[in-house]
Amino acid sequence: MNSGRQFLTSAMTALAPAIWGSTYLVTTEWLPSDRPLLATTVRALPSGLILLLISRVLPKGEWLWRSLVLGTLNIGAFNLLLFVAAYRLPGGVAAMIMAVQPMIVLILAALVIGDKIRAVHVVACALGAAGVVLLVFQGSTALDTVGVLAALGGAACMATGITFTKRWGRPARVGLLPFTGWQLTAGGLVSLPFTLSVEGLPTFLTGTNVFGFAYLIVFGAVISYALWFRGIEKLPALAVSFLALGSPVVATILGLAFQDETFSILQTVGILVILVAVVLAQPRPPRRRGAVAGNPAGTDGPAPGGPKHAMSQGETRL
């Protein structure tokens, strides 16, 4: 991939976390209060079913359980923890805590995919951890512990999902939309029983609530996840994880603009430290001389077990 195409791919992929950055504001302003499970299910399940109806392609074979694992990590568990954090923390703080996920990807990519960790990556991890400590524990007011843990858990789910999505790729001749639909549907189905048993269905929704859910379905799921999974396929796992910085940037801007959020001096230092860590960990362009065919590391091609599977191994038509 030449530099121009890589920049365009990175820019398109960055739109996904930028859209997700608005989730914090949408959650607090437009959705029913204290309904993280409902928000997760409504965001994921209708979106996934719409994409399945459009594509009319279902997973089969090993992609049944792979879709369930990826859907749980990328959609179900991640969105639940994201909404818990959004309900309990200021949007900018929640998003910045979740910005540690590139550091988690750094380790997972080395273990699962075989990516190399350079010394600058270790420095970035240390700075990232220090920045989170400053951001979480040095504010003028105490932050909600459950919200902080949910944000960290969400970062871990996203990091794991990115790594295994990159590792497995997607089946041959399965388009991006059905692949996205598989995961959205799986994530929604995983969260649905918990939504019904723990929170139940709301007895009344306002017009604002309906608009908020529609925004999450169209922009926060169908469009953003399609862009996100395309980026994971085209770019190195670590590069994709750093693009998630767009989420805290947008969330912080929206929080300052619409919710009068403020940061203490030490919290601001923590944000700057996290930003420095992300810049340091940004991977340099790979130097490849005669890459070995079929090697997924640092290439645009699929990972082993990914798109090289035949259609009959990964999908079935409705």
Residue with more model confidence, 295 or 281: 281
What integer best gives the mean pLDDT of the chain? 82
pLDDT grade for 283, boundaries at 50, 70 and 90: low
The pLDDT, as a whole number, for residue 1 is: 58
| pLDDT at 296 exceeding the cut of 50 | no
pLDDT grade for 305, boundaries at 50, 70 and 90: very low
| pLDDT at 246 exceeding the cut of 70 | yes
| pLDDT at 240 exceeding the cut of 50 | yes
The pLDDT, as a whole number, for residue 53 is: 94
CA distance linking residue 285 with residue 287, whole number of Å: 7
- Rounded to 10 degrees, the C-alpha dihedral 124/127/129/130 comes to 180
CA distance linking residue 59 with residue 170, whole number of Å: 10
CA distance linking residue 294 with residue 303, whole number of Å: 8
pLDDT above 90 covers what percent of the chain? 40
The pLDDT, as a whole number, for residue 247 is: 79
Q: Please tell me the pTM assigned to this model.
A: 0.78
* Mean pLDDT value across residues 293-297: 45
Range with the lowest mean pLDDT among 81-90, 167-176, 248-257? 248-257
C-alpha angle 11-125-121 in degrees, rounded to nearest 5: 70
CA distance linking residue 263 with residue 256, whole number of Å: 9
* Mean pLDDT value across residues 40-68: 94
The pLDDT, as a whole number, for residue 208 is: 96
The pLDDT, as a whole number, for residue 83 is: 87
In tens, the pLDDT along 194-222 reads: 999 999 999 899 999 999 999 999 999 99
Helix (H, G, I), strand (E, B) or coil at 250: helix
Cβ atoms of residues 237 and 164 within 8 Å: no
Residue with more model confidence, 252 or 127: 127
Range with the lowest mean pLDDT among 67-76, 126-135, 290-299? 290-299
Range with the lowest mean pLDDT among 84-93, 183-192, 283-292? 283-292
The pLDDT, as a whole number, for residue 299 is: 44
| pLDDT at 273 exceeding the cut of 90 | no
pLDDT grade for 2, boundaries at 50, 70 and 90: low
The pLDDT, as a whole number, for residue 314 is: 60
| pLDDT at 11 exceeding the cut of 80 | yes
Cβ atoms of residues 262 and 252 within 8 Å: no
Nearest Cα to 71, choosing from 38, 101, 49, 98? 49
| pLDDT at 298 exceeding the cut of 60 | no
The pLDDT, as a whole number, for residue 318 is: 61
pLDDT grade for 172, boundaries at 50, 70 and 90: confident
Nearest Cα to 306, choosing from 113, 115, 56? 113
The pLDDT, as a whole number, for residue 289 is: 53
Cβ atoms of residues 284 and 57 within 8 Å: no
The pLDDT, as a whole number, for residue 153 is: 94
The pLDDT, as a whole number, for residue 77 is: 93
Nearest Cα to 174, choosing from 293, 302, 295, 16? 302
The pLDDT, as a whole number, for residue 133 is: 75
| pLDDT at 295 exceeding the cut of 50 | no
